[in-house]
Amino acid sequence: MIPSSRKSLVSALALILFTIHCSLFTVSCGSRKPVAPETVQSPVGPMFIADSAYRYCEQQCAFGPRTMNSTAHDQCGDWIADKFAAFGLSVTRQQAVLTGYDGTPLRSTNIIASYRPEQPERVLICAHWDSRPWADNDPDDSNWRKPVLAANDGASGVAVMLELARLLPDTLSLGIDFICFDAEDWGIPQWEERDDPGSTWALGSQYWAAHPHCDGYTARYGILLDMVGGQGARFYQESMSRDYAAAVVDRVWRAAAVVGYSSLFPMEEGGGVTDDHIPVNTVAKIPCIDIIPHYPACEQSSFGPTWHTVTDDMAHIDRATLQAVGQTLVQVIFSE
């Protein structure tokens, strides 16, 4: 207890200290700049239907391997174009005879499906649709000359694009071009004793980048989908994508986190890849990234155990992987 004779002195001192404290607090607070609250993104757009994408993948595989110059290749190309047209998109077939690494003439068709082609502001989403003609990474060398069914390495990217096209409403103010690149997988096989300069791969995208389907074509950015349906896939940030289009990488990986798939899209860098996004960046000058899996612990291949093997079939396609990639793309598109 404080004696009554000292109460007034204590009260006076307390008042002085309180006044000084308030003055200091006011000065301190007044010197701070107001901090704007962070923008918190929420999921937007429709639900991506993985079962639908799985069926599109299955239907492509039903034609058999879609190797260059084959009947299955031609039939599947017609089917892909017809599906995009059925969803109301304007379809262009860009045909050219390209030359394979061994001099083989390749009857190539890039399939371009355009949503709202009249819109000047556009986004490019792409994948390759041809099959590797040789399973040259198969652990059994007796399979090396066999074609790859390419359920993941080809069909999965097209399947995701088809499902995205099916979901698009008529009301988006943004134009979208879905491009199915041909002749991506005719690169030099592993048994050939020659250097590969990288130009033997991605022949269809090389041609399109130098001869776009319409004069003066440009897009805000591009997203390449390659092997986006495999079991156990995780999509690290491909290093060439970061070099050419870091802002697009950030946009896509943030979208994956918003829709709950950050575990499949880790904020870590994977290796660099020679793929269809390279000519889109270097020749067409459109910042384009590659969503492609990276399996750091896989002895068979860093692209996964089925890459360029006879086991790249529907038995190794995972609806959950298709869902993660598809919903991420929905978030990106509908956030524009």
Q: What is the pLDDT of residue 193?
A: 83
Domain contains 191: yes
- What SS3 class is residue 134? coil
Contacts of 130 (CB under 8 A, 6+ apart): 66, 67, 68, 73, 150, 154, 182, 183, 184, 185, 186, 204
In the chain, pLDDT over 90 holds for what percent of residues? 86
Q: What is the pLDDT of residue 40?
A: 64
Here the tokens at position 97 are 């005879």
Output the CA angle 121-181-132, nearest 5 degrees: 155
Domain contains 37: no
| Mean pLDDT to the nearest integer, 24-46 | 53
Counted domains in the chain = 1
Residue 69: CATH number of its domain = 3.40.630.10
Domain contains 8: no
Domain residues for the domain of 153 are 50-334
Q: Is pTM, for the whole model, over 0.85?
A: yes
Domain contains 5: no
Q: What is the pLDDT of residue 39?
A: 55
How remote is the C-alpha of 303 from its chain's centroid? Answer: 15
Domain contains 91: yes
pLDDT 10s digits, 98-140: 999 999 999 999 999 999 999 999 999 999 999 999 999 999 9
| Mean pLDDT to the nearest integer, 205-232 | 98
| Mean pLDDT to the nearest integer, 204-226 | 97
Domain contains 180: yes
Give the model's confidence band at 79: pLDDT under 50 very low, under 70 low, under 90 confident, else very high: very high
Domain contains 34: no
Alpha-carbon distance 235 to 232, whole Å?
10
Domain contains 16: no
pLDDT 10s digits, 155-174: 999 999 999 999 999 999 99
Contacts of 289 (CB under 8 A, 6+ apart): 221, 222, 223, 224, 238, 241, 244, 245, 248, 249, 252, 277
Q: Mean pLDDT score of the chain, rounded to an integer? A: 90
The dihedral through the CA atoms of 189, 190, 192, 197 has a sign that is positive
Query: Burial code of 77-113, b = ≥16 C-beta within 10 A, e = fewer?
Result: beebbebbeebebebbebebebebbeeeebbbbbbbb
